[in-house]
Chains A and B, each alone.
Chain A
Amino acid sequence: MTAPRDKLGRPIVVVTGMGIVTSLGAGKADNWAKLVAGESGIRTISRFPIDGLKTTMAGSVDFVTVDPFSSTGLSERMADIATEEALAQAGIGSKGDFPGPLFLAVAPVEVEWPQRRELGRAVGQQDFNYDDLLRISGGGKFAPFHHRFMFASVADHLADTFGTKGSPISLSTACASGATSIQLGVEAIRRGETDAALCVATDGTVNPEALVRFSLLSALSTQNDPPQAASKPFSKNRDGFVMAEGAGALVLESYEAATARGAKILGVIAGCGELTDSFHRTRSSPDGKPIIGCMQKTLADAGMEPGQIDHINAHGTSTPENDKMEYLTAAAVFGDLAQKIPVTSNKSMVGHTISAAGAVEAIFSLLTLEHQLIPPTINYDVPDPAILFNVVGNKAREARVSAVMSNSFGFGGQNASLILTREPA
C-alpha cells in the first residue's frame, strides 16, 4: 500500500475521470484510436467563407453544433460534453452535485461578429456610427448577448449544470491555460481545501477574426494544401501552428479520497510548475532560461530527476521558434537524454487547441501511460537537423512509459509544465 502523501508530504493528486473533444471526435476511445493511427483532424474551414484569408484550414470541431452560433457557445458545449464524459468515468458525487470547485480555462470572451452584425442590421440605416449602435443596444432586445458574452458565462453554466462548489474560476494563461487549470486543482487538493476538483479547458475560437489576428502576427501555417499536412512539429519546413478547437475535462481527487471510495485511478499529477518569461509579448527569452526553469521547477515539484522522465508530450506547436526553443531548453534540462527520450506533439494531428491544449494533451499523456503506446508526430518527413529530439515520427511507438512531462508555453511569457505518472511514487 502506497502512502497517500507524496515525497514532500502533500496529498497525492490522482485523476479519476477524463473527457475529451477534439477535431478527431468526441470521447477518449474515438480520439485515442485516431490519434495512434496518425489521423489528422485538420480540414479546410467550412464554417465561414475563407476568401481573402492566408490560412484556410483549422482543426475545427464541426460535429458539435450550437444555435445561435458563437465561439463562446461552442466552447461551452464542448466543455459540457467533455465534463459529462469525465464525470461518468469518475462516478463521483451525484448528478448535478460535484463535491469540489471548478477551474476553467477558457478563451477570453467578447462580442462576436454574428451578433455584432445583427446589431448593425438592427440600426436599419446604410450609414451610421458607433453611437447609433449604442443607442439601439438596450431595451432588452439583445439581453441574451449580455449573458453570453460575460467572461464568467461558461463557468457559470458549468457550475450550474454540474453543481461544483464555491466560486468557479475562469482563467487564461494563453496557450498554457489548460495546464494552469490543472495546476489550480492540484494546489487546492494539496492544501487540503477539497478532496476533489473539476478542471476543464475549452476553446472554440476558430472564427474569422481570431484567425486574422494570429495571421497578422505571422503565427499560423499557410501550407493550406493539403490541410492534413500543415502541422508538422519539429520538421525543417514547418511554418506555423494550426488553430484548432477542443475541450478536455479532468476529475482530480486526493489519492486517499479516491481509494476510499474505490475509484479507478487513471494516473497521477505528480508535479506542476510555471515560470514567467518577461522578455517579449510573443517570443521566448533567447537564452530559454524561463522555460528551463519551468521544467526544472516541475521536476522539483514532482520530486523527480530528469532521468525519471521517459516521455515528453511536447508543446510542439509547429512554429519555427517554439519547436527550436523547446528542444534547446529540453537539452539544457535533460542533457544527453533530450536526444533519447521519445518526444511527440499531438498538435501534428489535432492542431493547437489554444486554451484547451494543456488539458487535452494531459489527457493524451495519461492515455499514453495507460496504453504504453506513444502517439505519433505526423508529417515528420523532413526532420529539422537543429532539433535532435527522438521524435516519434509518423507511426505510434510502443514504449515503457512511467512518467510523462507535458509542456505548455503561451503568449505573454506563460510557461507551464506537468508531470504525469501511472502510479503514485
Chain B
Amino acid sequence: MTDTTVSKPGQTEVWITGIGLATSLGEGLDANWAALQERRINVDEKNFAPYVVHPLMPVSLDSQIPKKGDQRQMEAWQRIGTYAAGLALDSAGIKGNKDILSRIDMVVAAGGGERDLNVDVGVLTAEARGNNAPGFLNEKLMSDLRPTLFLAQLSNLLAGNIAIVHGVCGTSRTFMGEEVAGADAARIALTRIASGESDIALIGGSHNGERKDLLVLYEFGDFNLKDKFAPIWARKGRGGFALGSGGAFLVLESRAHAEARGAKPYARLSSVVADLSRRRQPGDMTATLEKLWGKLPLGKGKGAIITGATGAEPATEEERAFLKGHAEFPVRATGTMFGHTMETQFPLGLALAALSISRGALFPPNDSTRLEIEMQGAPTQIVVVGAGHWRGEGMALVEAVG
C-alpha cells in the first residue's frame, strides 16, 4: 500500500484552495451544485445508442482558452481539461499570477486522445475491399492523418496545453492508468506539499466520453452501459458504466502558503491512499478497500462517502460489500450524475467533497435503490473512494478546516 496521511507532527497541512469543474451538468461550482440539488442528470441515450453517455454541457471556450489557435491544436479532452484547469486557477485567485504559476507543481491524470475515426474506417474498409499492398497503411496514414493530431493525442499534452494557455510552468507530470491515476496524482501532490518539497500544486484530469473509439475499447470488455440509463446502484446484471465528459481540477496548497496570500480553503486534504488489489478471488477488492479505509485518520465528526463506483461488475458489487460495513456514512455515487469520467472521476470526487464541506451540506441522494440516504447537517469529513473498473483502488479523506 502507498499512502500519504498528513497527520504526523511537523507535516504541513494541505488545503484545497481552488476547484474547477466543467461537466455534463455545467461549468463552475454554482451550476454543478444547483444541478446536484435538483437531482438533474444530463444523459444521452440516442446519439451513441445503444450506449449511454453523459455529454459535456457546452462551455464558452474563449473565456478560458482565448486563442483560437490553441483551441485548434487540441482535441475535446484537452480543451475540457484546459478549460477546467483555468476555472480552478480562477477559483484559487491565482490566474495570471506569474510568480505563483511559475512555481506550481502540476500532476495530471490523463488517458489518450481521440482518434480520427474516418481515417481508421477508411483504412479498414479499403483493406476489406482488397487494398492489401504492403505500404497501403503507411501511405494512407501519411496522407490522411492531420499532422498535429498526434499532439492532441499524447497523454502529457493536456499538461502541456495547460502550461501554454495558463502559464502553469513549475513542474509537470502526467500519470496514466485509468481511474487510480487520478488518486495517485492527488497522492503524490499531497505528499510533496506535506513534506515541504512543494508549496502549491494543480491536480486533476479531463475526459471526453463522447468517443466511439473509447466505447470500442470498453466494449471489448463488455463494460459499457447499454440501452437505458439507471443510477449506479440500480444497474442490473453485468451493470456497466456510461462514459461521461468532464474536467475536474484542484489547487492544493500548504496552509502557510495559502494564508500568506490570504486564500480561503474549501476544505483540507488530509490523506490519500491507494493500492492495487490482485482481484483474483471474490472479496479481494472489498478487502483492499477495507484496508485503505483503515489507513485514513478518520475523526469523530459527521462523515460521508463520495464514490466513483463505476457501475461495472464485479467491481461495483465488491464496493457495495465494503460500503455495507460503513452504513453510518451516507453515500453518493458520482457516476450516477456525471457518468464515468475515468481518470477524472477521483479528482471530481475530491472536488465535490470539498464543495460539500464548504457549502455545509452533502448534496442529495439520487438513487432508486435507497443505498444512498439523506444526510442531515454539515459533513466535516468526507471519504472519497475510487475503485477502477478493472484495476486500482484509491481513497482520500477531505475534512473541514479546523
- When the two chains form the complex, which single residue of B2, B221, B388 contacts A165, counting CB atoms closer than 8 Å? B2
Looking at the assembled complex, report how far the CB atom of B4 sits from the nearest CB atom of chain A, in whole angstroms.
8
Q: Does any Cβ of A come within 8 Å of B217's Cβ? A: yes
Contact yes or no, A413 B164, CB < 8 A: yes
Chain B 141-181: CB-based contact to A (< 8 A → 1; otherwise 0): 11001011111011111011101100111111111111011
Q: Does any Cβ of B come within 8 Å of A143's Cβ? A: yes
Contact yes or no, B168 A278, CB < 8 A: yes
B336-393 contacts to A (CB < 8 Å): 388, 390-393
Contact yes or no, A117 B274, CB < 8 A: no
Given contact pairs A52-B139, A143-B220, A145-B220, A278 touches B163 in the complex (Cβ within 8 A):
yes
- Some 24 contacts from A to B, beta carbons below 8 A apart, are A108-B176, A110-B112, A117-B127, A127-B125, A128-B128, A130-B121, A133-B124, A134-B216, A134-B219, A137-B215, A138-B224, A143-B222, A151-B181, A166-B1, A169-B181, A169-B184, A172-B155, A193-B2, A212-B142, A278-B169, A281-B160, A411-B160, A412-B154, A414-B160
CA distance A217 to B154 in the complex (A): 13
Q: Does any Cβ of B come within 8 Å of A332's Cβ? A: no
CB-CB < 8 A to B117: which residues of A?
130
CB-CB < 8 A to B180: which residues of A?
152, 167
CB-CB < 8 A to B99: which residues of A?
none
Contact yes or no, B150 A217, CB < 8 A: yes
A144-174 contacts to B (CB < 8 Å): 145-147, 149-152, 155-156, 159-160, 165-174
Contact yes or no, B164 A280, CB < 8 A: yes
Q: Does any Cβ of B come within 8 Å of A191's Cβ? A: yes
CA distance A167 to B172 in the complex (A): 20
Q: Does any Cβ of A come within 8 Å of B134's Cβ? A: yes
CB-CB < 8 A to A217: which residues of B?
147-148, 150-151
CA distance A48 to B229 in the complex (A): 44
CA distance A126 to B132 in the complex (A): 13
CA distance A317 to B177 in the complex (A): 28
CB-CB < 8 A to B141: which residues of A?
208-209, 212
Looking at the assembled complex, report how far the CB atom of B101 sits from the nearest CB atom of chain A, in whole angstroms.
9
- When the two chains form the complex, which single residue of B167, B168, B175, B388 contacts A170, counting CB atoms closer than 8 Å? B175
Q: Does any Cβ of A come within 8 Å of B324's Cβ? A: no
Contact yes or no, B156 A174, CB < 8 A: yes
- Nearest residue (CB) in B for A174 is B156
Number of interface residues of B (CB under 8 A): 87
CA distance A101 to B184 in the complex (A): 12
Binds B, one of A244-252, A269-277, A392-400: A269-277
Given A51-B133, A134-B215, A171-B176, 16 new contacts (CB under 8 A): A49-B135, A50-B138, A51-B135, A53-B135, A128-B128, A130-B121, A146-B218, A152-B176, A167-B1, A167-B393, A170-B175, A170-B181, A171-B174, A184-B173, A281-B151, A413-B172
B85-142 contacts to A (CB < 8 Å): 106, 110-112, 115, 117, 120-121, 124-125, 127-129, 133-139, 141-142
Contact yes or no, A173 B173, CB < 8 A: yes
CA distance A108 to B349 in the complex (A): 25
Contact yes or no, B160 A413, CB < 8 A: yes
